[in-house]
Amino acid sequence: MTWTDLAVTLLLSAGLFFYAAGTVGLLRFPDAASRLHALTKADNVGLGFVALAAALQWGSLVVAAKIAAVWLFAILAAGTSAQLMARVARQDDGDGP
């Protein structure tokens, strides 16, 4: 096993841990805002680790740049969708306009 294989395995394991933590937060936290926060933050960090592992595995700067762009778009989409979902949840609770 080379150092690259070991690094990819460790990064994928870290990504899996953060995905699992986000899922547990989604299932266990009491309100919508806490659930969305746990899910978006943990999943974006988990995706970052998985993307880094994929970029390291392929070993190409072009592929790494494409993976980084996908990760950036996922971060933007997660933040935007979480804001919209939190706004709808707040309106359903009667706490805001």
The CA distance from 43 to 78, in Å, is: 9
Comparing 14 with 22, which gets the higher pLDDT? Answer: 14
The CA distance from 73 to 31, in Å, is: 26
Residue 53 CB neighbours (<10 A):
21
Alpha helices by DSSP H, listed for 1-97, are 3-28, 32-58, 61-93
Which of 16-20, 85-89, 93-97 has the lowest average pLDDT?
A: 93-97
Joined together, the tokens standing for residue 34 give 């806490």
Query: Is 30's pLDDT higher than 90?
Result: no
Joined together, the tokens standing for residue 46 give 């988990």
Confidence band of 94 (pLDDT split at 50, 70, 90)? low
Interval 43-90: pLDDT, tens = 889 999 999 999 999 988 999 999 999 999 998 888 888 888 878 877
The CA distance from 62 to 29, in Å, is: 40
Domain boundaries, the chain: 3-93
